Structure 1
Amino acid sequence: MQITFLGHAGFLIETQHALVVADPWLSPQGAFDSAWMQFPRNHQLAPFVRERLEFSTKERFLYISHEHKDHYDPDFLRTLTKRDFTVVIGRFRRTALRDAFEAYGARRIITCEDQQEVPFKGGYLKLYLTDSGTNRDSALLVQEGGRSFLNLNDCKIHDRLQRIVAEEGPIDVFTAQFSGAIWHPTCYDYSREEYIEHSRQKRASKFEAVARAIEIVQPRAYLASAGPACFLDPSLFHINLEPVNIFPRASELFSFLHHRLAGKTPRLFEPMPGDMLDVDLADMVSLASERVTDENVSQYLRSYASLQTRVFRERRRNMMLEEVDRIHLRLREELQHKLDAFSLADRVMMPLYLGLVELPGQLLRVDFRSRRVDVVSEVRDLSRYTLIASAADIVRVLDRKLNWEDFLLSFRFRASRQPDIYDATLHNFLAAEIEDLRALCDGTLDTESLKERTVVSAGGLRYSVNRYCPHQGADLEEGWIEEGRYLVCPRHRWRFDLPDGGVCSANGCSIQAQPASSSGKDDDTSGPVVEQRPFV
């Protein structure tokens, strides 16, 4: 088995009888309305990938993990004229990805359930799915001839890794996201000190998740992939140069891993687009000529931005006030339609203010309790969430050129919240499409209906807790203890304070922690006793 890195989260995996192209993001216009660009640049690999997918004599698969445009690149896929390969995707509640490929015209489309295998001569592919809230993603396992590659990309299945390894045996090559991919704190109006502290916390949490995953999987090699992207729009370029943010380079992760794993690290590779790894050797056998290093990265980014100037020049346009007024009206109607479909609206205690930069005195105030959207002249609530964007960016959502999550990932807005607490229900309202809101709310209620309890030990005490995280249902038996009191969710690293009833201070969610009897038997406990490893 050989693995060619295609940049970002993209791989070409080749076995004796099969070829798998995974998440090829190759278009020169980037993703999320050109806010994200591949780093390092990889556009030069498009002809190579096109030729392999169209003309290889082996059985060919195109795997797309999820619909985020840094993984699903419809512009590149449209350049493929010969489509006699098999598309492999997850079967998610939201059918947008499936619908797009049904219209695409590939020879065969396989929409996999969780843990479904797709066989090929000498081996198989296997998908692991997450589908909760706005989080729809899949991970890929490729097994062939006693060798294996486990590619998590952005998929947060850290609570399932022990079972995967137990079922599938040793993993030779492993990769998982190590860089941020969210708009917090990047788009929030924090002081410089607050911004740095939030970024450090998120970075440390992401690095720790990778370290724990490596401890469980124990691969022979780890490939740093699925981030970071770079930001070449002149209005976003400053993000690349910040000394502390949520987009670290692999060298920073590797320094952490060498210290955190105390010398028990697998072989660590920061691949460049075009590098090839031989899985038998667990080593690179071919290297691309272009290399980005800590020493040349600043100049590299400036040169890259200069090459992409045309992309950003073409997306600019001026608007007449009448058009801005129409966009404002359409946005108000869109928000009202969202409210009408949002059955969990009464859970959001604070109003949401949305405004257009061009109309500072005409804010849209979304009152979730009364299910109304009103026009107001100013923010009048001490407790509130606020989002301000330009009409030119918002209209692309209203015209369905972007979905809401694509827009939020474009980073082309400013936000603030008071109090500074994450509200998952409000977040889901913002990020979801109208047609997905009812199913999203039903999924939230399904997660909350999971009442199984388990017992954990922390600080010399035992606690009975809800086994499944209230956020997206992660199995907390795969979590760990920090500081002798916090049970940490293995997916998103939420910290539940056990002595304080299991409340997460960052968002107010609770796992209903109660003291458990020293004998380990508790009337409210059905799960096993879980002795968590101490935080390192």
Structure 2
Amino acid sequence: MRITFLGHAGFAVETARSVVVMDPWLTERGAFDSAWMQLPRNHHLAPRVRELLETPGRERFLYVSHEHKDHFDPEFLATLQRRDFTVVIPRFLRSELQDIFAKYGCKRVIACEDGREIPFKGGYLKLYVSEQGTNRDSAVMVRGDGQCFINLNDCKLHDRLARITEEEGPIDVFTAQFSGAIWHPTCYEYSPETYAAISLKKRDSKFEAVARALEVVRPRAYLASAGPACFLDPTLFHLNFEKVNIFPNATTLFRFLEQRLPGAASKYLEPMPGDVLDIGSLDFVSLDQERVTQEGFDAYLRKYADDMAPLFRERRRNMLRAEVDEIHARLRVELQRKLDLLDLHERVGMPLYVELTELPERLLRVDFKGRRVDEVSELRETTRYTMKVSAADMVRVLDRKLTWEDFLLSFRLRLSRSPDVYEPILHGFLGVEIEDMRAFCEGVRSTESQRERTVVSVGQKRFSVQRFCPHQGADLAEGWVEEGKYLVCPRHRWQFDLDDGGRCLMNGSTLCAEPATDVVPEETEKPTVPAPVVEPRV
């Protein structure tokens, strides 16, 4: 088996009789309205990927993990002329991927439920599907030629990895996201010190998740992939050079892993787009000519930005006041439609203020408890959530050129919250499409309805807690304890204070923790072990 790295989270896995192309993101326009660009650039690989998918003689599969445009690239896929290959996608409640590929004209489309195997000559591929709240994602495993590759990409399956490896046996090569892919704290108005502190904590939390995954999977090699991207829009370019943020490079990760997992047998590899790895030997049998080094990073990025400058000039245009007024009115209607479908509106205890930067005197105030959107001239409450965005960026969402989540990931907005507490319902209100709002609310209720409990041991203490995380239902029996009292969710690393009834430090939700004496039959006891303290390196 050979693996060609296609850049970001893209791979082409070739066995003797088959090829599986995974998440090829190759368009020169990047993703999320061109806010994210591939790093290193990989556009030169488009002809190679077309050749792999269009050349007969082997079974050919195209796998798309989820809807995010740094994984699902419609612009590149439209360039494929011969489409006699099989598309493999996860089966989500939201049918967007299925609807798109139903019209694509390929040989067949297989929409897979969680755990489904798709056989091919000499092996099979298998999908793991995860859908909780606003998160829809999947991971894929390919087994062939007596070897195995698991690509977790962005999918947060950390609480399931032990079961997966127990079922599947030895894993040769493993890859999982190690860099941030969220708008917090990037888009939030924090002091530089607070921003750096939050970023460092999030970064090391992500690194810890990778380290624990490696402890469980124990692969022969780990491939650094799924980030970071780079940001070439002049308004975002500074993010590439922040001393501390949530977008670390692979070198920083590897330093962390070498301290965190001393003596680990896994080999850490950072491929460049176009590099080809032989899984048997774990040697690169072919290397791409373009190599990006830390020493040359600054010059490389500035040249890249110069090359892409025309793309961002195209985005700029001045808007007439009448256009801005129309966008303001449309936005108010959009927010009201979302609010009308938000069955959990009474849980949100603060208003949301939305400001078009061209109309700072005409704020839109979303009153969740009153279930109405009003226009006001100023902020009325100290307890509030605010969003500022330009009309030129907002109209792309209203015109359905971007989803709400794609817009949030474009980073072209500013947010603040007081108090600085994560509010999952408000977060869902912003990120979920109108047609998905009811399903979002049903998903929250479904997660909350899980009442099974588990026992956590911390030294001589034992606690009975709710087994599934109230956030998005991760199995806390696969969690761990930090600082002698915080139970950590393996999926999003939320911390629950066992000495305070299992209260979450993020937003006050709780696991209803209580001292455990006798273990009832339905409980599952899994002792957790404190994570080693690792000195962060910037």
Taking structure 1 as the reference length, what is the TM-score of the superposition?
A: 0.98
Question: What CA RMSD, in Å, does the superposition of the two structures yield over aligned residues?
Answer: 0.8
Residue matched to 1:61 = 61
Contact 2:178 2:207 survives alignment (8 Å): yes
Choose 484-493 or 47-56, whichever is displaced more.
47-56
Offset from partner CA, 1:248-293 (integer Å, 9 cap, x none): 0000000000000012151111110000001111221111111111
| CA distance in structure 2 between the partners assigned to 1:378 and 1:284 by the alignment | 60
Residue matched to 2:275 = 275
Aligned to 1:308, the other structure's residue is in SS state: helix
Contact 1:118 1:125 survives alignment (8 Å): yes
Post-superposition shift, 1:124? 0.5
| CA distance in structure 1 between the partners assigned to 2:61 and 2:445 by the alignment | 36
| CA distance in structure 2 between the partners assigned to 1:25 and 1:530 by the alignment | 40
Contact 1:172 1:282 survives alignment (8 Å): no
Offset from partner CA, 1:281-329 (integer Å, 9 cap, x none): 1221111111111111111100100110111011111100000000000
Count of aligned positions: 532
| CA distance in structure 1 between the partners assigned to 2:14 and 2:192 by the alignment | 46
| CA distance in structure 2 between the partners assigned to 1:282 and 1:160 by the alignment | 26
Aligned to 2:119, the other structure's residue is in SS state: strand
Residue matched to 2:502 = 502
| CA distance in structure 2 between the partners assigned to 1:491 and 1:444 by the alignment | 16
Which letter maps to 1:533? V
Contact 2:458 2:529 survives alignment (8 Å): no
Offset from partner CA, 1:33-82 (integer Å, 9 cap, x none): 00000000000000110111111421100000000000000000001111
How do 1:147-186 and structure 2 match up within 5 A? 147-186=147-186
Post-superposition shift, 1:87? 0.4
How do 1:152-301 and structure 2 match up within 5 A? 152-301=152-301
Post-superposition shift, 1:459? 4.2
| CA distance in structure 1 between the partners assigned to 2:82 and 2:363 by the alignment | 49
Offset from partner CA, 1:394-445 (integer Å, 9 cap, x none): 0000000000000000000000000001111111110000000101111111
Residue matched to 2:326 = 326
Contact 1:176 1:226 survives alignment (8 Å): yes
Which letter maps to 1:111? A
Residue matched to 2:529 = 533
Which letter maps to 1:527? E
Which letter maps to 1:193? E
Taking structure 1 as reference, are residues 191 and 265 closer, same or farther at Cα in structure 2, changes over 3 Å only?
farther
Offset from partner CA, 1:315-361 (integer Å, 9 cap, x none): 11110000000000000000000011111111111111111000000
Which letter maps to 2:85? F
Choose 216-225 or 261-270, whichever is displaced more.
261-270
Offset from partner CA, 1:79-103 (integer Å, 9 cap, x none): 1111111000000011111111111
Contact 2:494 2:505 survives alignment (8 Å): no
Contact 1:258 1:265 survives alignment (8 Å): no
Aligned to 2:225, the other structure's residue is in SS state: coil
How do 1:416-435 and structure 2 match up within 5 A? 416-435=416-435
Which letter maps to 2:445? L
Offset from partner CA, 1:105-155 (integer Å, 9 cap, x none): 111000000000011011001000110111000000001132000000000
Taking structure 1 as reference, are residues 190 and 344 closer, same or farther at Cα in structure 2, changes over 3 Å only?
same
Which letter maps to 1:521? V
| CA distance in structure 2 between the partners assigned to 1:82 and 1:386 by the alignment | 48
Which letter maps to 2:519? K
Choose 341-350 or 61-70, whichever is displaced more.
341-350
| CA distance in structure 1 between the partners assigned to 2:421 and 2:284 by the alignment | 44
Residue matched to 2:535 = none
Choose 525-534 or 451-460, whichever is displaced more.
525-534
Residue matched to 1:130 = 130
> 2:519 is matched with which residue: 510, 518, 521?
521
1:109 aligns with 2:109: yes
| CA distance in structure 1 between the partners assigned to 2:5 and 2:145 by the alignment | 21
Contact 1:459 1:485 survives alignment (8 Å): no
List structure 1 runs of 4+ shifted beyond 3 angstroms. none
| CA distance in structure 2 between the partners assigned to 1:459 and 1:330 by the alignment | 57
Residue matched to 1:462 = 462
| CA distance in structure 1 between the partners assigned to 2:315 and 2:447 by the alignment | 41
Question: Which ranges of structure 2 fall in alignment gaps of 5 or more residues?
Answer: 533-538
| CA distance in structure 1 between the partners assigned to 2:247 and 2:433 by the alignment | 27
| CA distance in structure 2 between the partners assigned to 1:534 and 1:231 by the alignment | 36
Aligned to 1:104, the other structure's residue is in SS state: coil
Offset from partner CA, 1:216-274 (integer Å, 9 cap, x none): 00000100000000000000000000010000000000000000001215111111000
| CA distance in structure 1 between the partners assigned to 2:252 and 2:137 by the alignment | 26
Which letter maps to 2:420? D
1:487 aligns with 2:520: no
Offset from partner CA, 1:152-205 (integer Å, 9 cap, x none): 000000000000000000000000000000000000000000000000000000
| CA distance in structure 1 between the partners assigned to 2:52 and 2:277 by the alignment | 17
Question: Which ranges of structure 1 fall in alignment gaps of 5 or more residues?
Answer: none
Choose 260-269 or 122-131, whichever is displaced more.
260-269
| CA distance in structure 2 between the partners assigned to 1:160 and 1:63 by the alignment | 21
Aligned to 1:216, the other structure's residue is in SS state: helix
Offset from partner CA, 1:8-46 (integer Å, 9 cap, x none): 000000001111100000000000000000000000000
Contact 1:501 1:513 survives alignment (8 Å): yes
Residue matched to 2:365 = 365
| CA distance in structure 1 between the partners assigned to 2:402 and 2:41 by the alignment | 23
Post-superposition shift, 1:509? 1.2
Post-superposition shift, 1:508? 1.1
| CA distance in structure 2 between the partners assigned to 1:86 and 1:428 by the alignment | 33
How do 1:82-101 and structure 2 match up within 5 A? 82-101=82-101
Taking structure 2 as the reference length, what is the TM-score of the superposition?
A: 0.98
| CA distance in structure 1 between the partners assigned to 2:525 and 2:72 by the alignment | 42
| CA distance in structure 1 between the partners assigned to 2:102 and 2:416 by the alignment | 40
| CA distance in structure 2 between the partners assigned to 1:508 and 1:95 by the alignment | 33
How do 1:350-361 and structure 2 match up within 5 A? 350-361=350-361
1:20 aligns with 2:20: yes
Residue matched to 2:392 = 392
Which letter maps to 2:495? R
Which letter maps to 1:531? P
| CA distance in structure 1 between the partners assigned to 2:195 and 2:519 by the alignment | 45
| CA distance in structure 1 between the partners assigned to 2:393 and 2:523 by the alignment | 49
Post-superposition shift, 1:460? 2.3
Choose 243-252 or 48-57, whichever is displaced more.
48-57
Contact 2:165 2:217 survives alignment (8 Å): yes
Contact 2:455 2:519 survives alignment (8 Å): no
| CA distance in structure 2 between the partners assigned to 1:367 and 1:290 by the alignment | 53
Contact 1:257 1:265 survives alignment (8 Å): no
| CA distance in structure 1 between the partners assigned to 2:313 and 2:84 by the alignment | 37
| CA distance in structure 2 between the partners assigned to 1:218 and 1:165 by the alignment | 9
Contact 1:10 1:25 survives alignment (8 Å): yes
Post-superposition shift, 1:528? 2.0
Which letter maps to 2:527? E
Residue matched to 2:410 = 410
Aligned to 1:251, the other structure's residue is in SS state: helix
